Amino acid sequence: MKEEKKVTEFGETLSNAINNKKTDINQAVWKSKDGRDTRLVDMDSVMLNKAYHHCCDMLYNKSKFTPGRYTVKENIKVFIAHCNAELLKRYLLHECSIDIIKTPLELVQAVNSFKKQNNLTDDNTVDVMFDHLPKEYSTVKFGDLIAACLDQLEVINRKMISEHFIITQGIWLTDEEKKELTELDDNGKQKPWLDVIKERMVINPDIRLRVDIKGFSYSEFRLLLHLTPNPRISSLPSETLRVFRDKVFLLLDIDTDYHIKRWETIKSNIEQVAKLKEITLNIPSYK
């Protein structure tokens, strides 16, 4: 009798889990551009396929102007590598005393000569050529270093670093920045630092800035909001490149993971509803 009771309890648990899953699918919705919610189970074949294609676009699109989130992750890796390559070029030319390397052209010639002598390719890393490099440069590839010397690195897509992304990361002021931002109102009381930032940067007063220890400093925040559209990596100051390499792109990668999880969930819900309703989904191709 005890064994039979265990089986019955297991069966009830499994049945409840299946019913809960069905309930979740029944409650899953598609939010249109105008903000209206439509239950996925109420959508016909055309509507489900349209929603499914949009999910796939948001995840896998290879377009340079509207990349999917997986493409964005790959782009982030490239941007980090290219910022690092530009910083290494400047380090070798301006901070190291190498008699035969004083210009970008001489650096390219030295690299190509070393590659040829040692049967190496552009995919090999520079640590095999340069001893005692700072650790952060050890993973730079010869190809990226050469591209930096020839000013052929990627242009940073300003759309990736949107104002919404910058603001949602929060702000954490240094002690010096707190002093710099200290202002008094007409009654002699100190103004909130975040209000002063809004005034100085002409940010909409209705936008909510928040304090976050993981956020940007005021100088970083100001730098990012004032970033020119599509700047060349070679045109940016070294400090700006370090902020991008060590902070901005890492935070952007985390933000991208959040959006990937969100769109994958919606895509999975559509696939489950389509299976339930015996609807064929047309899977788009991306090249």
Domains of the chain by residue range? 168-225
Q: Would you state the structure tokens that stand for residue 91, as one six-digit string?
A: 């380090």
Quick: pLDDT tens for 199-215: 999 999 999 999 999 99
Fill in the amino acid letter for 262.
R
Quick: pLDDT tens for 215-248: 999 999 999 999 988 899 999 999 999 999 999 9
| Euclidean distance between CA atoms 172 and 216, whole angstroms | 6
Quick: pLDDT tens for 173-193: 999 999 999 999 999 999 999
Quick: pLDDT tens for 259-270: 999 999 999 999
Q: How many residues does the chain have?
A: 287
| Euclidean distance between CA atoms 281 and 267, whole angstroms | 11
Measure Cα distances from 216 to 72, 75, 105, 223, 247 in Å. 21, 22, 37, 10, 9
Whole-number pLDDT of residue 231: 93
Position 159 pLDDT exceeds 70:
yes
Comparing CA positions, the residue from 235, 199, 204, 237 lying closest to residue 218 is: 199
SS3 124: coil
Quick: pLDDT tens for 89-148: 999 999 987 877 889 999 999 999 999 999 999 999 999 999 889 999 999 999 999 999
Whole-number pLDDT of residue 245: 96
Dihedral sign (CA 26, 27, 30, 32): positive
Q: Would you state the structure tokens that stand for residue 193, as one six-digit string?
A: 């630092």
| Euclidean distance between CA atoms 274 and 23, whole angstroms | 15
pTM of this prediction? 0.83
Whole-number pLDDT of residue 15: 52
Quick: pLDDT tens for 12-43: 554 554 455 555 788 999 998 888 999 999 99
